[in-house]
Chain A
Amino acid sequence: MSLRRGAGLALAGLPLLFLGFAFFLPLANVFLLGLREDGQWTLGYVRAVLAHPYVRHLLSFTALQAFLSTLLSFAFGFPFGWFLTRYGFPGKTVVRALTLAPFVLPPITVALGFYLFFGHTGYLNDVLRAIFGLKEPPLKILYSLWGVVLAHAFYNAPVFARFVHAAWAGLDPTWEEVGATLGVRRWRAFLSLTLPLLLPAIFSAAALVFVLCFLSFAIPLSLGGAQYATLEVGVYLYARVYLDFPRAATLGLVEFLLTLALTYFYVRGGGLFGGRQERIRPRASIPFLSRPAHLLWFPWLFLTLLVFAGPIAAVVADSLSRPLGGKAPGLGWYTLIFSPEQNPFIGTSPLGSIRTSLEVAGLAMALALFLGLATSGTLRLLRSRLLEALLMAPIAVSSVVLGLALLISLRGRPFAWLGEKGSLVLAHSLIFYPFVVRIVRPIWEGLPPSFVEAARTLGARRLRAFLTVELPLLFRPVLVAGAFVLALSLGEMTAAATLAQRDLVTVPLAIYRFLSARRFGAASAMATLLVLLTVGAVALWEWLGERTLHGHG
């Protein structure tokens, strides 16, 4: 038995070895820059950085805004996950895919969407002023802490919505039904039966969202104002302005240790509440609006629509209204980005960049799913919470540090043969596999052990037992995880900018090129295409998945 477990561990350990070699070793090399000087170990940089009063200010603000942003993301995301689980309505696949749209938008486009929609002269204030006959803009959300928090919720509420949805859809509804027959009030049944089983997924999402907000950079500056800057500004300042890599690495290390400590706390917290289910029975959704009480959802749906669809719609409107050569453009910006001779030299045609982005995202998704599942499986065997937190590292490092680590790792010898596109695929799978782990792990833990044990008593080997028994039960979370990686890869910038040499132009890079050439309308048109592309790809992936799932019975 222990021999078999050892063999299983060795097999599962291979992906870990690969992660160590391709990512953690180069990362350690970057951090060493901040810990060594002239061949000697030193804590001098760490002390100097931590003693800096401005760094301390950054630290407290960064933690505060990340905390508030996580709360607001939860407030928006959890009810939406509930809504998606409980109700069926036409176009649900597309709506679900749309929730991932914010993920792919570059911060610069989100800032534009927020200016145009929530700004003092934005659409929302214009409408409110017209309705109430006011002179001053009634809603002053932007250019304050709340602008930052709202924009972070815009980005991250989908994480809560999809994580909760994935976990909830897999919960056995029997207890809730029994409770209902016994006359237990609905909200009591929810609090005592459902919520505890959802807590691992909620903690998992919270860990991710907190880390993502902690490392945010452009949004706090551009929507909050310079008095609201995050630690990333410090890393940027050291690395890009002072060209002082040791101090940049030191601050990056401090950031990394903090996010990791918090991740560890969350992982533990999630583990405390993790319960196991005894069996699984699919949950039926109720048609939305089949009861008058459903109307109570409307105010909330309206608010959600305002916050999430508003800024995106503003960017779409911008792509259709930004003057082109002094005239109203109609579809002019779209024609421009697709016409070869008019097309500013973005290094490739827009269609070429779309193809590149899709290829990279598709391959990265496959690889990240493999890495994520293998890692989750290993963690299931090892049960080390410290290792679990540590394996989140790729999303817990500053983008400047990440860029340096990828430069060391993927531009160096062992991976040089991969070429630009291959190395970007690898990079994306290395950065995004933690999402797979975070979605799959809590649900895998919650699976009834009896199935696998039964299968193994019947003589199925570990791998076969996994493939035939557990994987089908994990199908839905794997589907969601794939969708996340797809969207994240389509919108990723740091690795693309680090690894691109000559031909590699992804859609977000093309957006930046249009912006830098003052072609704001073309940038908005390209961002609109990116949203459509993402929603299309995610909807197709989930639709195919659902079909396969129902094929399974």
Chain B
Amino acid sequence: MKKLLFVLVAATAGLAVARELVVYTYDSFVAWGPAKVIEEKFEAMFPGVDLIWVAVGDSSEMLSRLIAELKLGLRTADVFLGLADVELPRALAHGVFQPYAPEKIPNLADVSEELLFDKTGHVLPYDHGYVTFVYDAELLPEELVPRSLDDLLRPELRGKIVVEDPRTSSPGLSFLLWTIAHYGEGWPNFWRKLLPNLLVITKGWSEAYDLFLAGEVPIVLSYSTDTAYSYIEHGSLRYRVITPDGEAFRQIEGMGIVRGTKEVELAHAFLNLVLSVEVQELMPLTQWMFPVNRRAKLPAGYEYAVIPERPVSLELNLIGEKLEEWLSLWEGLLLGG
């Protein structure tokens, strides 16, 4: 009814019938502002098309909402932006995405090959970053700064580290996967020894960072662009990134066209726009992630953003297959197993 009325009003005003492209994403993508710039550019390219962002939760909340809506047959998003690479196997298993047509995305040519994490051709990367530890240089004596993962186990660091829960937080999961990649079968031993050094394992990144900024702990699990952030935003180098053993866990974020959309052409144009140099150059200062477009330049201050010597990742299909087993094992460790 409302729609009909709208169409009538639009017709009498002499406008074309409004077309919409609905994009689901996570809240920080909207809150930081790249969404606004993308919307302006997109609507300038396609007059009469309304780009609508829906962002009411983090990435996993939005993905599970989308899957539930698809199962119920509700018409929802045309594009999903913000898929964590580790979620790919489960998203594909639920048939969330339809394949993209590479020839309709010319900017794909500038994307680094090693970042194309979906070999099945459904999901494209749009930024990437590194999960690692950050310390407070005013609270942590230099000799206690961990230089390796094993250093995190030192008894002097008892209760001085905060990490996020791998079940409820994306950096938390990255850290668990990192320890699995680093220690292989021996990872549960590492965690057993690490637990006494963790003050608390928080639900999400915000709580962990709140604790860190409040001075409750000198070491937090966060991102490798944190020093660049506090330098650019506050002119401070107090919070410093470490890459234990030269490592940090790589996260790639992806976007894809939702299966069954009627706006296939617009959806491709949208993906292409997000990969363009001008939008990609927004990523460092809004998402605090690195662009995937090789031609995008990094802003001043990003010399403090760290790309580790040895980025760590795990084979996605292995994660898809083993995740539940690993998390149950991890839960067992919490109970002293």
Contacts and interface: CB of A to CB of B under 8 A. Distances in A.
B200 A223 contact: yes
B25 to A, nearest CB: 11
A179 interface: no
A323 B328 CA distance: 41
B23 to A, nearest CB: 11
Interface stretch (A86-94, A201-209, A295-303, A340-348): A340-348
Given A54-B331, A115-B216, A513-B27, A242 B324 contact: yes
Interface in B299-337: 323-324, 327-328, 331-332, 334-335
B53 A240 contact: no
Interface residues of B, number: 65
Given A108-B206, A226-B165, A497-B56, A119 B214 contact: yes
10 contacts: A111-B207, A112-B210, A221-B165, A345-B36, A347-B55, A509-B56, A516-B206, A517-B28, A517-B31, A520-B213
A227 B67 contact: no
Interface residues of A, number: 64
B64 A240 contact: yes
6 shortest A-B CB distances, which residue pairs?
A516-B28, A226-B201, A517-B31, A326-B234, A513-B31, A221-B203
Contacts of A111: 202, 207, 210
Contacts of A240: 60-61, 63-64, 168
B201 A514 contact: no
Interface in A41-59: 53-54, 57
Contacts of B332: 53-54
Contacts of B61: 240, 497
B299 to A, nearest CB: 16
Contacts of A500: 54, 56
B210 A115 contact: yes
A39 to B, nearest CB: 16
A143 B334 CA distance: 14
B2 A417 contact: yes
Contacts of B72: 407-408, 411-412
A236 B167 CA distance: 8
Contact of B168 (A108, A121, A221, A245): A221
A417 B56 contact: no
Interface in B15-53: 26-28, 30-33, 35-36, 52-53
Interface in B56-96: 56-58, 60-61, 63-65, 67-69, 71-72, 74, 90-91, 93-94
Nearest to A218: B203
Given A222-B207, A516-B31, A517-B28, A417 B1 contact: yes
Contacts of A108: 204, 206-207
Contact of A515 (B60, B165, B206): B206
A433 to B, nearest CB: 24
Nearest to B35: A345
Contacts of B142: none
Given A243-B90, A516-B27, A498 B65 contact: yes
Contacts of B168: 221, 233, 236-237, 240
Interface of B: 1-2, 26-28, 30-33, 35-36, 52-58, 60-61, 63-65, 67-69, 71-72, 74, 90-91, 93-94, 165, 167-168, 198-204, 206-207, 209-211, 213-216, 229, 233-236, 323-324, 327-328, 331-332, 334-335
A224 B331 CA distance: 15
A143 B199 contact: yes
Interface of A: 53-54, 57, 108, 111-112, 115-116, 119-122, 142-143, 217-218, 221-227, 229, 233, 236-237, 239-243, 245, 323, 325-326, 344-347, 403-404, 407-408, 411-412, 417, 419, 496-498, 500-502, 509, 512-520
A227 B69 contact: no
A221 B64 contact: no
B208 to A, nearest CB: 8
A519 B286 CA distance: 12
A347 B53 CA distance: 9
Contact of A226 (B31, B74, B324, B334): B334
A121 B31 contact: no
Contact of B216 (A121, A407, A408, A509): A121
Given A345-B33, A412-B72, A325 B233 contact: yes
A327 to B, nearest CB: 9
B53 A502 contact: yes
A407 B206 contact: no
A488 B199 CA distance: 32
B297 to A, nearest CB: 23
A353 B205 CA distance: 25
Contacts of B209: 518, 520
A320 B78 CA distance: 41
A242 B202 CA distance: 20
B235 A143 contact: no
